[in-house]
Amino acid sequence: MPAAAGIPVAGLAVRDAASPLAPWAFQRRTVGPRDVQIAIHHCGVCHSDLHTARGEWGAMRYPLVPGHEIVGRVVAVGRDVTRHAIGDAVGVGCIVDSCRDCDACRRGLENYCERGSTGTYAGIEQQTGLPTQGGYSTGIVVDEAFVVKVPASLDLAAAAPLLCAGVTTWSPLRHWEAGPGTRVGVVGLGGLGHMAIRLAAALGAEVTAFTTSPAKADDARRLGAQSVVVADDAPAWRSRRNSLDLILDTVSGPHDVDRLLRTLRLDGAMVMLGLSPDPMPFPGTFTLASRRRTLAGSMIGGIPETQAMLDFCGTHGLGAEIERITAHDVNIAWQRMVRGDVRYRFVIDCETIGMG
C-alpha cells in the first residue's frame, strides 16, 4: 500500500502529452533511514525529457515532472546514511533505484538492472508505489546509494548535464578503452556530442567530429576535436575510410549508419547513443564483416561510472557548456531544443520554480 508522502515541493509538470509545462505543487516521500533530501539548485534539460513527456517512448502517467540532470545540496539525511552529509554538493542522474541483486547491479551497472531500474521520473518508487517525479522541481528525496558527490571544483550549473550527457558518453569511452593512441569519432554536436568530444580529448584520444553544420566546425575544434568532417564534404569522408577505432553516434534521428561504419578500421566499434523514435536502416553486413566491425549500443551509466566521471571532470575542470534559464523560460527552451537552437545544454535555475 502506498506510503503517505510528506515533503511539499514546487515543480513544473505536463498534464498530458500535448500540454506545456506548468507549475504544480506536489509532495515527496518523507526521509527514510537511508534517504537523502536534496534542495535542487539546477536541473539540465535533456531531449529525452521532451520525448518522454510527449509519450513518444510509450504511454505515460500524468502529471509528469521531467528532469534527470539534478544538482543541489543535502538538507536532511536518514539515520542510517553514511555517504552524504548536510551541506554536501550532490547530484542525481537518470535512475533512483534498482533491484541491487542481479548480476548487472552487483557489477555497478544499475542502469542495466535485469529486473528494471527505477527512472528518476516516469518510474514507480519502490518505497511508496507512487510515480517518480523528476528534477524540474525544488527538492527531491533519493536513496543515498543513488546520490553522487559533485566535486567542489565544478560549477554546479555546468555540472548538472554531466549526470546524463556526461555519463552517457563517458561509459562507452571507458568500456571501449579510449585513450592515448586511439582515434575516436563523435557524430553530432549537441548536448551529448559536445561532452563526448571534451571527454575523449581529455582522455588523450585523437578526436574527429562529424557534423551536418559547417558553422559548428570551429566549436568542435575548440572543444577538443583535431579534425572535423562535414556531411557534404566527400573528400573528407574518403580520407577517413578505415581510420577510426571508436565512434560515438549521438544523433537521435535516422541517418546513414553504413557510411559512418566505413570509417572504422579493423575491429573498430560504433556505439549508438542517440535514441531515434523512428526506425533506422540497418547497414550492409558486408560493411561489418569486411573489417570485423561492431555496431553496438550503450545506455547512460551505472552509479560507480557516474561518480568516476564526475571525479575526472573535477580534476580536469570539465563542465558542460550551458545556457542558464529560469522556470518561466522552459517551454521556450523546449521549442528551441527541437530546432537545435542551443549550445549546448539548457540548465534550469530551480530556485525560480514556484515564484510568481
Parallel, antiparallel, or unpaired for β 35-45 and 139-143?
antiparallel
CA separation, residue 57 to residues 9, 50, 251, 329 (Å) = 27, 10, 16, 25
By percentage, how much of the chain surpasses pLDDT 70?
A: 98
User: Which tops the pLDDT comparison, 33 or 278?
Assistant: 33
Minimum mean pLDDT range among 53-57, 118-122, 183-187: 53-57
Q: What domains are there in the chain, each with its CATH number?
A: 5-164+320-352 (3.90.180.10), 166-297 (3.40.50.720)
pLDDT, residue 140, reads 98
| 3-state DSSP assignment of residue 228 | strand
Please report where in the chains the cell 560515438 appears, as a residue. Answer: 248
Query: Sorting pLDDT into bands at 50, 70 and 90, what band is 158?
Result: very high
Average pLDDT of the residues in 15-21: 96
For the whole model, what pTM was predicted?
0.95
Tens of pLDDT along 90-137? 999 999 999 999 999 999 999 999 999 999 999 999 999 999 999 999
In terms of Cβ atoms closer than 10 Å to its own Cβ (0-12, 13-18, 19+), residue 232 is exposed
Q: Evaluate whether 51 touches 334 at the Cβ level (below 8 Å).
A: no
